[in-house]
Structure 1
């Protein structure tokens, strides 16, 4: 089997869709090396994002490289005799069906439809057109959560049988226990407090960091460490923190090396992830692997990521959040039970299972196309 991938995110993005793209490709090359995998990209990836086990294809001399990604790539796919093309980040090239190339697309979320206030009008138009086209014209759609599957059916009218939910795991660096020496080094490097709650993710309104800041007013003797890219919303949160004399207890970490994150997780008391809506919630899975409890928000797919051992609260209830935090940090038995259940739930994200599900899907699409 020869599979081609859209490599825009895999070669350019260091978070989110880029991580998913590289994660899945690496899984497939590891567990199914007898297949051939090619990444079609506009630019050459930097060394830290390159995947040595695959071949790369580039547009060559093109005046408008974005045109190649949407249209011109078809010639390359036909020349390379690709058996299947997988759009890893919500979109696919146009006219693949006309060219007779079987297609799979991964749709991560439809947040821009559910929460349009977080997106510009132009972005919403572009996303809606591209996502809808991909979902309706691909032979099969991979949804990264049951929530995304339901949204695809509800908003785009995609047939349920066309969608398959395949979860994703986090980077394998979170799978291993960090040594005490490494923890001490990271603690010193980032000047971490002795005891802290952790929040990871872009600091934007939807992620709801303000809820944690409000809850912190009701919790004594513990700090909050925030890891994530800042946006305009960050200023609003920081103003609240300053006005309520919380500045000494809240620590914003900048330019954190990816390889340092496991130690930051494992040193934390627990992860709080109160996002109002997500396509999945990888930081939750990272926390489960790191052996710390999770408190997340109700209302989207975070229950799918955290499983029955995690706690879920209303994203507007800071009183309940504070209560649940104290219930964990003051009761070691509760904490250990949550950690244990979290580890058990990780069976849903085993790498071999995910790679096998994906290859099986590819093969079914290819077989159906030949009939």
Structure 2
């Protein structure tokens, strides 16, 4: 079988959709080496270079010209003899040739419909148009959670029979044991506290960092934050400054994936009070790291967190603070929840996901 991918995100996104794309191609090429995997894009990059070095993975430069991704990528895949084209980020090409090819698209979330205030009017219209076109032309849609599946049915008016839920996993660094020397280097490089709670994710309204900071105000619990700053950061920073919490909250930048894995593993608690997610990969990363997790009781987060994570109302900073304090002071409870959650998270391992993906491809040939 020859499978073509829209590899724009594979090559050019550092997190989120980029990680999903790279992990998907990596695990398929590992567990099903008999197939050929084609990465289509105008250009490649250093990202995912170790995956491209595999003999069954190949970069295919697409035809040049304006809108080549929309108008030419599908035909380029057909010219390569691909049996399946998989759009990895909610989009499919608009134009196709006569050669037979099955079309699959992954839709991660429809946050722009649920929370329109986070998007410009123009972006909402473009996103909705692209997603509707892709959902209409796809032979099958992959939703990354049951929550996303429900949203696709509601907002895109797609029949349930056309959608299959296949969860995503996380980067292999979170499943590996880094050396003692590397762990010590990371501790020193980032000047990590002896004990701390952790939050990872873009620092934006929806991820709700401010309610964590408000929750730990008046305690001595250190908070480490890893994430790209947006305008919302200024709101968080102002609260920290006003309440003299500068020494309590540590913002890290320039963190590699292996360093991030160490930071997760050294944390006492991972806190993720997001208002809405398509899936919530940071929760999976924390569970693989055997770190007790507190997350929201909304959207798909209970799907990712399982029965033994602690759940909070993301709008209630007092609830967040109380549950942080409870776990912070109870080592045996942290360990119990971390161990049980580690058993739960194995369903998001590479092999089960690869099997589900390949079964879907074969059923649609």
Cα pair 2:12 2:47 within 8 Å, conserved: no
Name the CA distance, whole Å, in 2 between partners of 1:93 and 1:255: 35
Aligned to 1:228: 227
- SS of the aligned residue for 1:277 comes to coil
Alignment partner of 2:311: what SS? Answer: strand
The answer to whether the Cα contact below 8 Å between 1:141 and 1:162 also exists between their aligned partners in 2 is yes
- Cα pair distance change 1:105/1:322, threshold 3 Å: same
- Structure 2 counterpart of 1:56, from 54, 59, 63: 59
Matched, 1:205 2:208: no
Contact 1:201-1:283 at 8 Å conserved across structures: yes
Counterparts in 2 of 1:69 and 1:184: CA distance versus 1, 3 Å: same
The CA deviation string for residues 142-191 of structure 1, in whole angstroms up to 9 with x for no partner, is: 00000000000111111111111001111111102334433221111011
Using the TM superposition, name which of 93-102 and 114-123 deviates more: 93-102
Q: TM-score, normalised by structure 1?
A: 0.95
The answer to whether 1:21 aligns with 2:21 is yes
Q: What is the CA-CA distance between 1:97 and the residue it aligns to?
A: 8.6
2:12 corresponds in structure 1 to 12
Which residue matches 2:279? 280
Quote the offset at 1:47 in angstroms: 5.4
Partner SS for 2:251: strand
Aligned alpha-carbon RMSD (Å): 1.4
Q: Are the counterparts in 2 of residues 96 and 102 from structure 1 also a CA contact under 8 Å? A: no
Alignment partners' CA distance in 2, 1:159 and 1:28: 28
Instruction: Name the counterpart of 1:43.
Output: 43
Q: Which residue of 2 aligns with 1:302?
A: 301
Deviation at 1:351, TM superposition (A): 1.1
CA displacement, residues 334-363 of structure 1 (integer Å, 9 cap, x when unaligned): 111111111111122121111011011011
| Counterpart mapping for 1:110-259 below 5 A | 110-218=110-218, 220-259=219-258
Does the aligned pair in 2 maintain the 1:177–1:290 contact within 8 Å? no
Question: With structure 2 as the length reference, what TM-score do the two structures score?
Answer: 0.96
The Cα shift of 1:70 comes to 0.7
Give the whole-Å Cα distance in 2 for the aligned partners of 1:284 and 1:292: 10
Give me the whole-angstrom Cα distance separating, in 2, the residues matched to 1:43 and 1:328.
Answer: 47
- Displacement after TM superposition at 1:32 (Å): 0.3
Counterpart of 1:77 in structure 2 is: 77
The whole-number CA distance in structure 2 between the counterparts of 1:3 and 1:56 is 12
Q: Secondary structure at the match of 2:65?
A: coil
Task: Show CA shifts across 1:294-338 (max 9, x none).
Answer: 101121101111111101111111111111111111112211111
Cα 1:178–1:44, aligned 2, differ >3 Å: closer, same or farther? closer
Aligned-pair distance for 1:251? 0.5
Contact 2:224 2:251 in 1 (8 A): yes
Output the CA distance in 2 between the equivalents of 1:46 and 1:209: 32
Counterpart of 2:104 in 1: which secondary structure?
strand
Counterpart for residue 346 of structure 2: 347
Q: Distance in 2 between matches of 1:97 and 1:349?
A: 36
CA distance in 1, matches of 2:252, 2:5: 34
Partners of 1:348 and 1:175 lie apart in 2 by 13
Deviant stretches of 4+, over 6 Å: none
Tell which deviates more after alignment, 95-104 or 253-262: 95-104
Deviation track 1:248-300 (CA, whole Å, cap 9, x = no partner) reads 10011111122211111111111100110001111111111111111011211
Q: CA shift at 1:245, angstroms?
A: 1.2
**How many equivalent residue pairs?**
362
Whole-angstrom distance in 1 between the partners of 2:245 and 2:328: 19
Residues 106 and 144 of structure 1 are in contact (CA less than 8 Å); yes or no, is this contact kept in structure 2?
yes
Structure 1 unaligned residues grouped into runs of 5+: 367-371
Deviation at 1:49, TM superposition (A): 4.4
Tell me the secondary structure at the aligned position of residue 194 of structure 1.
coil
SS at the partner of 1:236?
Answer: helix
Give the aligned partner of residue 369 of structure 1: none
